Amino acid sequence: MSISALPSSSSVVAALAPVVCSGASSRPAFTLCSKAIKGQTYEGWLCAEKLDGVRAMWGRGRFQSRYGLAFRPPPWFSAALERHLGPNIFLDGELWMGRQTFSEAAGILRRQRCQQGWAKVQYHIYDLASEETAHLPYTERFEILKHLLRPIGVREGSDSTNLASAMAGGLDGPWMDPLHREDRHIVLHEPFCTLDADSDITSICEGMVKAGGEGLILRDPQGKYHPGKAKSRDSQSEATR
């Protein structure tokens, strides 16, 4: 089991196009987690479930992988995003089918003609990947996301805003698995709690894994959006099995 965290400057993107990695190929520059540091305090950081899916950036009418490959879902899957967000909005998220379904999800995404399989897939939106908002704290970017996505009627992927309320229902509560709450394929993946000085991250992560999850993502609420992997406890970390 391991735990990861996003750097204090965590995000990708651009105003008119997503930020791309340098080199011959043009790829979206996703923010990647570093492993959480054992014994380090993450008081005030936000905690969300780490999804074991396929990372994907949405922008200009298409989903693109970390390696620059285009996914081709059926038109209905992205219709609401195209209709309400316009060409200049880029989203950082994950194409996901549920816990312990990575192989099946990857197979569906690889097969260009597997249109029916997309009915099982959800797009969980992590962050706003736009150059114009990259300098803003994560919490401000997330509020902008909520505003942008409100017309679509997306489901927020958490019912809890603090650790006490999150833990009250147990680690196998419905707040842990958005797929069991509402059958919508566009989900705003919201952190389920804020860590305090007494939070035992290892125990929370173990509970998540026991419930079938992959682990945890820890976010600095003041973290900015920077592409690439965090070198230390910068702005985003992860804890996984």
Q: What number is the average pLDDT over the span 230-239?
A: 57
Q: What number is the average pLDDT over the span 191-201?
A: 88
| pLDDT digit string, tens, across residues 13-37 | 222 233 333 233 456 667 777 777 6
Residue 170 lies in a domain: no
Q: How many CB atoms lie within 10 A of CB 25?
A: 9
DSSP string, 167-223: HHT-TTSGGG-GGGT---SEEE----EE--TT--HHHHHHHHHHTT--EEEEE-TT-
CB 233, CB 34: distance < 8 Å: yes
Number of structural domains found in the chain: 1
The model's confidence at residue 173, banded by pLDDT at 50, 70 and 90, is: very low
What token pair was written down for 117?
């399989």
Mode of pairing for the β-strands spanning 34-35 and 236-240: parallel
Q: Which domain holds residue 220?
A: 34-158+178-239
Q: How many CB atoms lie within 10 A of CB 99?
A: 19
What Å distances lie between residue 218 and 5, 194, 221, 227, CA to CA?
Answer: 4, 9, 9, 17
What token pair was written down for 59?
């922008």
| pLDDT digit string, tens, across residues 41-95 | 789 999 999 999 999 999 989 999 998 999 999 999 999 999 888 777 899 999 9
pLDDT of residue 2: 42
What CATH code is carried by the domain that includes residue 53?
3.30.470.30
pLDDT of residue 198: 83
Average pLDDT, the chain: 75
Residue 5 lies in a domain: no
Q: Which residues contact 203 (CB under 8 A, 6 or more apart)?
A: none
Residue 173 lies in a domain: no
